[in-house]
Amino acid sequence: MSIDTDTDIRDITIIGAGPVGLCTAFWAGMREATARIVDSLPEIGGQLTTLYPEKWIFDVPGHPKVLAKDLVSQLREQIEPFDVPIHLETTAESISYEGEGDDRVVVLHTSDGQELRSRTVIVSGGHGAFEPKKLPVSDVDLEPWEGKGVHYLVGDKHAFLGKRVLIVGGGDSACDWVLNLLDTADHITLVHRRDAFRAHELTVSQVKEAAEGPHVDLHTPYVVKQVNGNGNVDPGEQCDDGNMANGDCCSSTCHFEAANSPCNDFNTCTTGERCNAFGVCTGYTACNTNVTCDYCGSKCKLTGSVCKCG
> In total, how many domains does the chain have?
3
Residue 137 falls inside a structural domain: no
Q: What's the predicted TM-score (pTM) here?
A: 0.60
Residue 11 falls inside a structural domain: yes
User: What range defines the domain where residue 301 resides?
Assistant: 267-310
Q: Beta strands 187-191 and 164-168: pairing type?
A: parallel
Position 240 scores a pLDDT of 33
Query: What CATH number is associated with residue 80?
Result: 3.50.50.60
- Could you report the per-residue pLDDT of 238-250, keeping only the tens digit for each? 333 333 333 333 3
Q: Predicted confidence band at 259 (pLDDT cuts at 50, 70, 90)?
A: low
Asked if pLDDT for residue 56 goes beyond 90, the answer is: no
**One domain, residues 248 and 279:** no
**One domain, residues 86 and 29:** yes
- Could you report the per-residue pLDDT of 90-141, keeping only the tens digit for each? 999 999 999 998 899 999 999 999 999 999 999 998 766 566 778 776 678 8
**One domain, residues 310 and 237:** no
